[in-house]
């Protein structure tokens, strides 16, 4: 991968919007890797939590939009509880999700979910699912 770095990308309006929505300061991450180390679903992510923060620092939002990381995160906040710099990757990923959901793409509607699944799935999973995928 080759990137051309410039000031506009690393401090873009999009990055500022993500910071605003998530309440996190992306620069604070110093890439220690604790979040990736503790994340229970990091193995299933295209881009693990530490790299997510690095991509954002470098202004590489597009790559993150194409990756599954934000959808795999279950919001357990392990990353936040262990982060020495008090950064929450979960919050940051929530910000990314909101960016996508507010565009109306990847939008789940409750009525589209088959009734048997709604009936059989654990309540927790449904609540989490709605929180994550419904705008």
Partner 1 sequence: MPRIGVFVCQCGNNIESTVDTQKVADETKKLPGVVHTESYKFMCSSPGQESFKKAIKENKLDGIVVSACSPHMHEKTFRRAAEAAGLNPFQCEIANIREQCSWVHHDPTKKVGTAKTMDLTRMTIQRLKKNRDLTKITIPVTKRALVIGGGIAGIQAALDIADGGHEVVIVEKEPSIGGNMARLSETFPTMDCSQCILTPKMVEAELHDKISLYTYSEVEKVDGYIGNFSVTIKKKAKFVDESTCTGCGECWEKCPFKADSEFELGLSKRKVIYTPFPQAVPNIPVIDKTRCPKILKDKCGLCAKVCGPQSIDFTQEDQLVTEEFGAIVVATGYDLMPKSKFGEYGYGKITDVISGMQFERLASASGPTGGAIKRPSDGTEPKNIVFIQCAGSRDEKRGVSYCSKICCMYTAKHTMLYRHKVHDGQAYVFYMDIRSGGKRYEEFVRGAIEHDGAMYLRGRVSRVYEKDGKIIVQGADTLSGSQVEIEADMVVLATALVSRDSATTVAQTLGIGYDKDKFYNEYHPKLKPVETVTAGVFLAGTCVGPMDIPESVSQGSAVASKTLALFSSDKMAREPITADVNTQTCNACWDCLNACPYVAIDKTEVKDRKGNVVKMLATVNAGLCQGCGVCVCACRSKAIDLNGYTDEQVYAAIATF
Residue among 14, 16, 31, 125 that touches partner 1 (CB under 8 A)? 31
Q: Which is nearest to 49 in space by CA: 91, 100, 110, 14? A: 91
Q: Residue 112: exposed, middle, or buried by beta-carbon count in 10 A (0-12, 13-18, 19+)? A: exposed
Q: Is 2 in the site for partner 1 (CB under 8 A)?
A: yes
**What stretches of 11-133 adopt beta strand conformation (E)?**
none
Q: Is 10 in the site for partner 1 (CB under 8 A)?
A: yes
Of residues 14 and 117, the one with the C-beta less far from partner 1: 14
Residue among 38, 55, 113, 120 that touches partner 1 (CB under 8 A)? 55
**Region of 3-11, 70-78, 104-112, 124-132 interacting with partner 1 (CB under 8 A):** 3-11
Applying CB under 8 A, the site for partner 1 has a residue count of 21
Q: Is 130 in the site for partner 1 (CB under 8 A)?
A: no
Which residues in 15-25 are b (16+ Cβ under 10 Å) and which e?
beebbebbebe
């Amino acid at each position: 991968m080759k990137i051309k770095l410039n000031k506009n990308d690393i401090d873009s309006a999009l990055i500022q919007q993500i910071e605003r929505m998530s309440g996190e300061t992306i620069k604070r991450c110093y890439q220690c890797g604790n979040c990736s180390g503790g994340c229970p679903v990091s193995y299933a992510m295209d881009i693990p939590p530490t790299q997510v923060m690095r991509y954002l620092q470098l202004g590489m939002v597009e790559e993150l939009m194409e990756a599954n990381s934000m959808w795999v995160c279950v919001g357990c906040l392990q990353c936040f509880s262990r982060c020495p710099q008090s950064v929450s990757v979960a919050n940051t990923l929530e910000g990314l999700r909101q960016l996508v959901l507010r565009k109306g793409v990847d939008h789940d509607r409750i009525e589209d979910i088959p009734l048997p699944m709604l009936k059989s799935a654990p309540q927790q999973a449904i609540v989490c699912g709605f929180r994550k995928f419904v705008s």
